[in-house]
Amino acid sequence: MKKEAGKNAPLTSRFPFSLALADKHRFVVTLELVPGREASGRSVDTVTSIARDAFADGRISAVSITDNPGGNPSLSPDVLGHDIFEIGMDVIVHFTCRDMNRIGMESRALQLAMMGMKNILALGGDYSGKGFGGQGAPVFDLDSVQLQIMLGLLSERINASGDPDTFFTGCAVSPFKRTEAECYAQYAKLCRKAAAGAQFAITQLGYDAEKFKELLQITKVMGIHLPLLGSVYVLRPKVAALIHGGNVPGAVVTDALLERVQKEWKDPASGREAAIERAARLCAVLKGLGYAGVHIGGVHRSFDIAGRILDRFALIEDQWPDFLQDFDFPQPAGFYAFSRELDEGAPHALFGQSPPKINFVERLRYGLLRRAHDTFFDATHPLGPVYRKGARLIDTMPGGRRLMYLVEDIPKRALLHCQKCGDCAVQHVGFLCPESQCPKHIRNGACGGSRNGRCEVFPDRPCVWVRAYRRLVRGNKTREITEGCVPPRMWELNNTSAWLNFHLQRDHQGSSNELSRRCRMIGCRL
Ligand code: SF4
């Protein structure tokens, strides 16, 4: 028996998620499923039966299937998703950059296209966790912005081969960052993802209605028209404690919320009811605020709990303003991009109002590197033709390339911990090295995993994008980390002189490959 939820029409056969999202009268509901680490048996049966029940229920537009969540191995979302797809349920495949290089990623995308599974949630991915025999090698060859572009280019090829059905790609965003720099980095990256072709965005998990509002406002300021799905989770005390302790990258549970959840679950039956009520109320708030839909997670045993959330949501959705107070869990000294008083009209984002201080050494390094860059590595510098001529001469001299490589290494190792990638990108990261300073080697903005300004992987270090923002905000140069898209690192230049490569237009700035060209055409503003 199919149930009605608000204006959602019941579905009788597969209704594409992309069409559901395009229907302005439909509030879209997606359900996140997490495969286990087995190829058959209980975990597979459970996920498949939840998907089957979700399809029979009719209120879920698509199930999304995670890709080695937490960086730990699990059954491939492609194969499990295909089984679910065959039931008739539309599927969103999570596609991360962590486990494959660009060759493997393209091959996987082609395979998904051939299977007809073209809804992709393009993600950077949590850092590598433990697999067979220990910690897995982190790949991160492309980042999530470059992945969007790759999928867009593959869509064009799919079209050219006569298939009108292209990839329908989405991205993730977290409005729940505590510091100004992280908020800026998140929104700047969202801007890039949208410009790179993302067609929807799903938020990370958080319980702060002001932050959900902020995301809607910032997309208006950036001129982005992207349907947003807010994450809703069935919050149990164990997961709440894990998130609170920083063990689920990007998700936020504050002290006050953890305390409340633990109190609610003193009696498990009432705890379960409270979790369902909280999830239903958050669905109502998100719909009321103007989100295009919700992405429900935390349903691991049976569809029943998701069905109960949606039943309750249908009953209470009109009361959403009363529920805003239930999602008032700010982080201590947390940054908000808009003042509450400026909610109406045309709000202005409050970035850069009180730039943080940076220490003397950081200022000195940044000043030195910027001056060197502006003098020697600005293609429009008056001496540019002279540098090019000199570079050409050195490049053709016997031992010239090797000599330049060794000379360059001395200052760059001292100032940047240079890893000699040969395709320098420090100018896109506030004159910090994305290879040595970012464990995911991201060239297009922060991942979702930073916490309190610290790196997801090395919590004792500040996130490199936070450092970049702090360096740039004083001089009003933050546009340098938002403009355009940085092409992927050119591995063919590994262990060569980045200085020669720049002047001889061999690096990503001069490359004519299709991904680099498309990257350079992208524009966004924050
Ligand atoms: S981006 Fe590459 S060349 Fe530039 S400092 Fe880092 S490793 Fe060295």
Residue 457: per-residue pLDDT? 96
421 CB under 6 A from ligand 1? yes
338 part of a folded domain: no
> What is the pairing mode between strands 168-173 and 200-203?
parallel
Residue 298: per-residue pLDDT? 97
pTM: 0.94
Number of separate helices (H) and strands (E) present in the chain:
19, 10
Residues 456, 412 within the same domain: yes
- The amino acid sitting at 234 is V
User: Which atom, in ligand 1's list, is nearest to the CA of 425?
Assistant: 1
The residue whose C-alpha atom lies closest to atom 7 belonging to ligand 1 is 419
**Structure confidence by residue, pLDDT tens digits, 142-192:** 999 999 999 999 999 999 999 999 999 999 999 999 999 999 999 999 999
What distance in angstroms lies between residue 70's CA and the mean position of ligand 1's atoms? 28
Residue 13: per-residue pLDDT? 52
156 part of a folded domain: yes
Percent of the chain with pLDDT over 70: 96
Last residue of a domain, one of 333, 349, 373: 333
Look up the domain containing 74 and give its range.
Answer: 17-333
525 part of a folded domain: no
CA–CA separation, 310 and 53 (whole Å): 14
The residue whose C-alpha atom lies closest to atom 8 belonging to ligand 1 is 418
Residue 355: per-residue pLDDT? 85
* Positions of the chain with pLDDT lower than 50, given as ranges: 1-12
CA–CA separation, 467 and 472 (whole Å): 9
194 part of a folded domain: yes
Residues 314, 378 within the same domain: no
Residues 412, 507 within the same domain: yes
Residue 15: per-residue pLDDT? 82
Strand segments, DSSP code E, in 340-475 are none
Last residue of a domain, one of 318, 333, 348: 333
CA–CA separation, 26 and 328 (whole Å): 27
Residue 345: per-residue pLDDT? 56
**Structure confidence by residue, pLDDT tens digits, 88-120:** 999 999 999 999 999 999 999 999 999 999 999
Residue 109: per-residue pLDDT? 98
426 CB under 6 A from ligand 1? yes
Residues 405, 322 within the same domain: no
102 part of a folded domain: yes
Cβ contacts of residue 91 below 8 Å, gap of 6+? Answer: 62, 63, 64, 65, 81, 82, 84, 85, 117, 119
Both tokens assigned to 408: 């360059």
Residues 94, 143 within the same domain: yes
What distance in angstroms lies between residue 417's CA and the mean position of ligand 1's atoms? 8
Estimate to the nearest angstrom the gap between the alpha carbon of 198 and the chain centroid: 11
What distance in angstroms lies between residue 199's CA and the mean position of ligand 1's atoms? 32
Residue 7: per-residue pLDDT? 38
308 part of a folded domain: yes
Both ends of the chain: CA-CA distance in Å? 47
416 CB under 6 A from ligand 1? yes
Which residue carries 């009520």 as its tokens? 277
Which residue carries 């995911």 as its tokens? 440
Q: Which of 410, 419, 441 to mutate to test the pocket of ligand 1 (most atoms within 8 A of CB)?
A: 419
Residues 392, 292 within the same domain: no
Residues 92, 137 within the same domain: yes
- The amino acid sitting at 52 is R
Angle between helices 304-316 and 42-57 (to 10 degrees): 30
Residues 214, 175 within the same domain: yes
The total number of structural domains in the chain stands at 2
CA–CA separation, 5 and 11 (whole Å): 12
Residues 283, 373 within the same domain: no
Last residue of a domain, one of 333, 352, 375: 333
Residues 176, 268 within the same domain: yes
Residues 303, 425 within the same domain: no
Residues 327, 400 within the same domain: no
User: Domain holding 62: CATH number?
Assistant: 3.20.20.220
